Structure 1
Amino acid sequence: ASRPAPEPVSGPPRLLSRGPDAPLRLAGQYPDAPLLTDSATTAARLRAALGKERVTLSPTPVFDDEVEAAFDELAGPDVALPGGGRLSIHPTPALVAIDVDAGSLAGGRDAGAHLALNRRAVFEVARQIRLRHLAGAILVDMAGLPMARRKALLPAMQEAAAADPDLRVVGITGLGLIELQRRRVRTPLHEVLGQPTSALTRGLAALRRGLRQARPGARLVLKAHPAVCAALQDWPGALQDFVAQAGPLQLRPDPLCLPGEEDIYAE
Structure 2
Amino acid sequence: MSERRAYLDRGLGETRGVVTLDGRPERLLIRRDDDEPRLLIGARLVARVASLEPALGTAFLDLGQGAEAILPFKPDARPVRGQAIEVEIRSEPRRGKLAIARFVGPAEGAPKLIAAAPDLAIELAALSHGASLVEGTSARQVADEAEAEALEVLHPVPGGGQIAIEPTRALTAIDVDLSDRKGGDAKRVTRQANLAALGMAARLLRLKGLGGIVVIDLVGRGHDGHALLAAARAAFGPDNPGVAIGPVGRFGTMELSLPRRVRPLAEQLCREDGALSDRTLAQQLIRRLQAEAAAQPGARLTAACSPAIATVAEPFARLLAEQIGARFSITPDPARSRERLDVGFAR
With structure 1 as the length reference, what TM-score do the two structures score? 0.71
Q: CA deviation at 1:17?
A: 4.8
Tell me if structure 2 keeps the 8 A contact 1:203–1:262: no
Tell me if structure 2 keeps the 8 A contact 1:222–1:263: yes
How many positions carry a matched residue from both structures?
A: 226
**Equivalent-residue separation in structure 2 for 1:104 and 1:33 (angstroms):** 36
Tell me if structure 1 keeps the 8 A contact 2:153–2:164: yes
Tell me if structure 1 keeps the 8 A contact 2:302–2:329: yes
Q: Which residue number corresponds to residue 331 of structure 2?
A: 252
Pair 1:225 & 2:320 matched: no
Of residues 206, 212, 234 in structure 2, which corresponds to 1:159? 234
User: Residue type of the partner of 1:238?
Assistant: F
Q: Which residue number corresponds to residue 212 of structure 1?
A: 291
Tell me if structure 2 keeps the 8 A contact 1:171–1:180: no
User: Residue type of the partner of 1:14?
Assistant: G
User: Residue type of the partner of 2:66?
Assistant: R
Residue 179 to residue 196, structure 1, CA distance change in 2 (3 Å): farther
User: Residue type of the partner of 1:26?
Assistant: L
Tell me if structure 2 keeps the 8 A contact 1:207–1:264: no
Task: Compare the two structures and name the one with the higher helix fraction.
Answer: 1
Residue 25 to residue 169, structure 1, CA distance change in 2 (3 Å): farther
1:9-158 matches, within 5 Å, as 14-15=66-67, 17=112, 20=116, 24-29=118-123, 30=125, 61=137, 63-105=139-181, 110-143=186-219, 145-146=220-221, 148-149=222-223, 151-152=225-226, 153-158=228-233
Residue 150 to residue 227, structure 1, CA distance change in 2 (3 Å): farther
**Structure 1 residues 141-165: Cα deviation after superposition (integer angstroms, max 9, x where no partner):** 122x12x316352221122112321
Q: Any idea what SS the aligned residue of 1:70 has?
A: helix
**Structure 1 residues 25-65: Cα deviation after superposition (integer angstroms, max 9, x where no partner):** 4244348888887xxxxxxxxxxxxxxxxxxxxxx656443
Residue 178 to residue 230, structure 1, CA distance change in 2 (3 Å): farther
Q: Which residue number corresponds to residue 26 of structure 2?
A: none
Residue 205 to residue 97, structure 1, CA distance change in 2 (3 Å): same
**Equivalent-residue separation in structure 2 for 1:202 and 1:161 (angstroms):** 33
CA RMSD between the two structures? 3.1
User: Residue type of the partner of 2:152?
Assistant: G
**Equivalent-residue separation in structure 2 for 1:221 and 1:168 (angstroms):** 52
**Equivalent-residue separation in structure 1 for 2:339 and 2:250 (angstroms):** 40
Tell me if structure 1 keeps the 8 A contact 2:239–2:258: no
Gaps of 5+ in 1: 1-12, 38-59
Of residues 184, 200, 203 in structure 1, which corresponds to 2:260? 184
Tell me if structure 1 keeps the 8 A contact 2:157–2:197: yes
Q: Which residue number corresponds to residue 4 of structure 1?
A: none
**Equivalent-residue separation in structure 2 for 1:123 and 1:34 (angstroms):** 24
Pair 1:197 & 2:276 matched: yes
**Equivalent-residue separation in structure 1 for 2:144 and 2:237 (angstroms):** 29
Tell me if structure 2 keeps the 8 A contact 1:161–1:168: no
Q: Any idea what SS the aligned residue of 1:111 has?
A: helix
Higher mean Cα deviation, 81-90 or 64-73? 64-73
Tell me if structure 1 keeps the 8 A contact 2:306–2:336: yes
